[in-house]
Amino acid sequence: MQLHVLILKNCLIKGAIPEYLGGFSELKILDLSFNSLSGQIPDSMASLNLYLKFMFLSHNSLTGEIPSWITGSEGNFDLSYNNFTRAADYNCQPSKVNLASSMSSSESNSVAWCLKKDLPCSRKSKHHSLFINCGGTTTDWGGHEYEEDLVPEGPSYFSYYSSEKWAYSSTGVFLNNDRGNFLAMNNNMSEEIYKTARLAPSSLKYYGLCLRSGSYKVRLHFAEIQYSDDMTYNSIGRRIFDVSIQGKLIRKNFNIAEEAKGFGKAITLDNDVTVVNGTLEIHLYWAGKGTTLVPDRGVYGPLISAITVTPNFHVETGDFSTETIVGIVVGAFVIVILILLVLWKTRCLGKKDVEDKELRQAIESRTAYFSLRQIKAATNDFDCANKIGEGGFGPVYKGVLPDDAEIAVKQLSPKSKQGTREFINELGMIVAVQHPNLVKLVGCCIEGDQLLLVYEHMENNSLARALFGREEQLLNLDWPSRKKIFLQIARGLTYLHEESRLKIVHRDIKATNVLLDRDLNAKIGDFGLAKLDSEEKTHISTRIAGTIGYMAPEYAMRGYLTDKADVYSFGIVALEIVSGKSNNNFRPIEEFMNLLDWAYVLQEQGNLLDLVDPILGSNYSKKEALRMLNLALMCTNPSPTLRPSMSTVISKFQGKKRIRAPIVNRATEHAMSFKSFDNISLDSRTQSSSEESREERTLSISDSCRAYSMSARSNHADMDNYTPETKILQSA
């Protein structure tokens, strides 16, 4: 099977371009722009020249010589913004090969000005203003003459005008449409400069060249002239892109029609910028949002109608105008006041040094203290490649300490309503809770608004992943391993409920919160974090902090929280251990809600062993499996008073006490389950009206962060709360 189109733009890809790309001989479009690629362009890619029409390698860190098969090709190739050290003779002439700013600084003295970084002026800077009618002819408007911009080229094009007064660089090809329509026109607009526009599929840069050093007002003119509001097919399009000036992002996810309050309406963006090296850069970038195929395949991406650049200084003397000076002074005064207020609010003034010293001493009296610098070094500054989870309390990163010890760093969300002192007190309680079947907290870091917990790293990830994760994640858990995991979870909960000096109810026992070390020993994670994040003082919980499918009915319905809620959740996990199936994702027949519902039916029929994971075959103890399943049903009794304690569970499984599994009325259990779901749903709707949730981040093809970042946990119910040691995020 041949590959014809490969687009991996802005995917955080590092390293060299792989040699095997040269094997896709029928490749027509290759887009690896806006990544961190390094090294040379492989020689093997020369074989692509026969079919390759578009190749975009811009905005990387490629080095070496630009191959002659590229500079001599008839295709559209963009190699701008790289670090090449050598190129064939190139004198900034218009070409389908875009090499703007493509050469390294060490080689820039011997190459044409347009290949140098930041496009420095090749002569003395002399211009002090710029007026461009993008996509249109020369036009007098507002007392100024706007220069024409009529070159139709766009896929990989660099062009300059008026003796190096300005230039533009365009990158990209429209998906499923390579006809090259990079100019737009709408004669229904009343003002001349808004009748035309230039657009680009991916990236569009305008440069003001040879400008005198100083402060300038940059005004960008926009009007959505390709979509309409006539309630037809053309009215459903949405254009969204980013706007940067001098490398600074001034507007993200900019929607012209939305900002202008309608289609065909003009809007401007104004910014004061400083030019020091003679070049002004305006960058419009499509970040993959908005419409691509509706209403027309060739109308998405950045669009701009005109550019106005005027000086904030007297042209004759070079001094700032009176208005500009007044603005600068007032602005500087306001900024200083704001900085002082922020420093005062964050206690960075006054007793900061004393408080920091006391704070660190308080932390070190309870657990190991890691500085933020140490954590950043261990996680490579929270590199996305080291992100291994996104739980209800914040993201999780894998780190390696200088002694090669692996850690998992949980970055708690700054939304906690507790003060730092209260946080330290609660942290001390968690540190005091230590058991072989609890994930060990080895330290923490508190600097500024950063609250970081450092755990031991668990090599085999979660029980959920081992039992019912993706095919490549599954572990071959034999019966002895499952029995050991069952008992170890029970021992960990027994310690939390009955043996620890601090009685802790976990609230969210589930397979993803059970971690497995290198030897498949089970350890419970995230214990005590719900307490860190809440203000509750009684057993009546005002904020549900569990996961649907694992929550006890009395907790989900009334917020009644005791250790018997954990016992119920343990029963669900026990069913999953035996069956190898997820309680929430298993519905053997439409009328059954989940795994627990099916277990009740099999119990009534006397076929409880039908739940045993088929992978085990006959290699398990029927007596032990039946005992474990009966205990699971005891633990999930709808009545909390009829559930056993965790120490009793261990005794009964070991044969020290007799097991009498209850026969639960399935109709009653159905009613309580549905009431629980209704209660949670109502609570969700109530809280969602008053709290903002974090937007889900979408995946990028071949992204090193190929992970599904879960939404931030609401206070009522964590639908998929991942543990701090989760190694790889599972997609929903």
Statement to judge: residues 600 and 627 lie in one domain: yes
| Domain-embedded: residue 443 | yes
pLDDT tens string 51-78: 899 999 999 999 998 988 888 778 899 9
| Domain-embedded: residue 713 | no
| Domain-embedded: residue 506 | yes
Q: Which of 508, 597, 683, 718 is catalytic?
A: 508
Q: Which of 130, 95, 134, 132 is nearest to 115 (CA)?
A: 95
- Contact residues for 657 (Cβ-Cβ < 8 A; gap 6+): 648, 651
Statement to judge: residues 162 and 267 lie in one domain: yes
pLDDT tens string 23-49: 898 899 999 999 999 999 999 999 888
Statement to judge: residues 208 and 269 lie in one domain: yes
Q: Which of 206, 213, 212, 199 is nearest to 154 (CA)?
A: 199
| Domain-embedded: residue 158 | yes
pLDDT computed for residue 207 by the predictor = 95
Residue with tokens 């922020």: 342
Q: Which of 158, 175, 147 is nearest to 112 (CA)?
A: 158
| Domain-embedded: residue 321 | no
Domain boundary among 91, 115, 139: 115
Beta strand 130-134 with 144-149 is parallel
Alpha carbons within 13 angstroms on the beta-carbon side of residue 247 total 6
| Domain-embedded: residue 426 | yes
Statement to judge: residues 92 and 135 lie in one domain: no
pLDDT computed for residue 245 by the predictor = 96
| Domain-embedded: residue 700 | no
| Domain-embedded: residue 384 | yes
Q: Can you give the CATH number for the domain in which 243 is found?
A: 2.60.120.430
Q: Are 121 and 210 in contact (CB under 8 A)?
A: yes
Helix (H, G, I), strand (E, B) or coil at 290: strand
- Tokens for 404? 């090669």
Q: What is the mean pLDDT, run by run of 10 residues, along the chain of 732 residues?
A: 86 93 90 94 89 93 90 87 79 81 76 85 82 95 93 88 83 72 90 94 93 93 86 72 95 93 93 92 91 68 95 73 64 80 60 50 68 90 82 78 86 57 65 85 80 86 88 89 97 92 85 90 79 41 66 88 94 96 79 83 91 94 95 94 94 81 55 46 38 31 28 30 29 24
pLDDT computed for residue 365 by the predictor = 58
Domain boundary among 456, 486, 507: 456
Q: For residue 423, what are the domain limits?
A: 352-456
Statement to judge: residues 576 and 632 lie in one domain: yes
C-alpha pair distances (Å), 492 with each of 195, 288, 647: 71, 47, 10
Alpha carbons within 13 angstroms on the beta-carbon side of residue 340 total 6
pLDDT computed for residue 431 by the predictor = 74
pLDDT computed for residue 403 by the predictor = 82
pLDDT computed for residue 715 by the predictor = 30
C-alpha pair distances (Å), 410 with each of 299, 384, 709, 719, 722: 43, 14, 14, 18, 11
Statement to judge: residues 144 and 248 lie in one domain: yes
Statement to judge: residues 443 and 555 lie in one domain: no
Domain boundary among 456, 478, 510: 456
| Phi, psi dihedral angles at 472 (to 5 degrees) | -75, -10
Count of residues in the chain: 732
Between CA 531 and CA 550 the distance in angstroms is 19
pLDDT computed for residue 691 by the predictor = 34
Statement to judge: residues 470 and 557 lie in one domain: yes
Statement to judge: residues 495 and 607 lie in one domain: yes
Statement to judge: residues 612 and 534 lie in one domain: yes
Q: How many separate domains does the chain show?
A: 4
Statement to judge: residues 300 and 261 lie in one domain: yes
pLDDT tens string 531-580: 544 433 334 344 456 788 899 999 888 888 899 999 999 999 999 999 99
pLDDT computed for residue 228 by the predictor = 79
Q: Are 640 and 672 in contact (CB under 8 A)?
A: no
Q: Are 283 and 244 in contact (CB under 8 A)?
A: yes
The single-letter DSSP state of residue 544 is -
Q: Can you give the CATH number for the domain in which 358 is found?
A: 3.30.200.20
Between CA 194 and CA 266 the distance in angstroms is 7
| Phi, psi dihedral angles at 283 (to 5 degrees) | -120, 125
Statement to judge: residues 582 and 643 lie in one domain: yes
478 assigned to active site: no
Between CA 649 and CA 487 the distance in angstroms is 9
Q: Can you give the CATH number for the domain in which 58 is found?
A: 3.80.10.10
pLDDT computed for residue 481 by the predictor = 96
C-alpha pair distances (Å), 39 with each of 49, 118, 302, 626: 20, 22, 30, 61
Alpha carbons within 13 angstroms on the beta-carbon side of residue 135 total 28
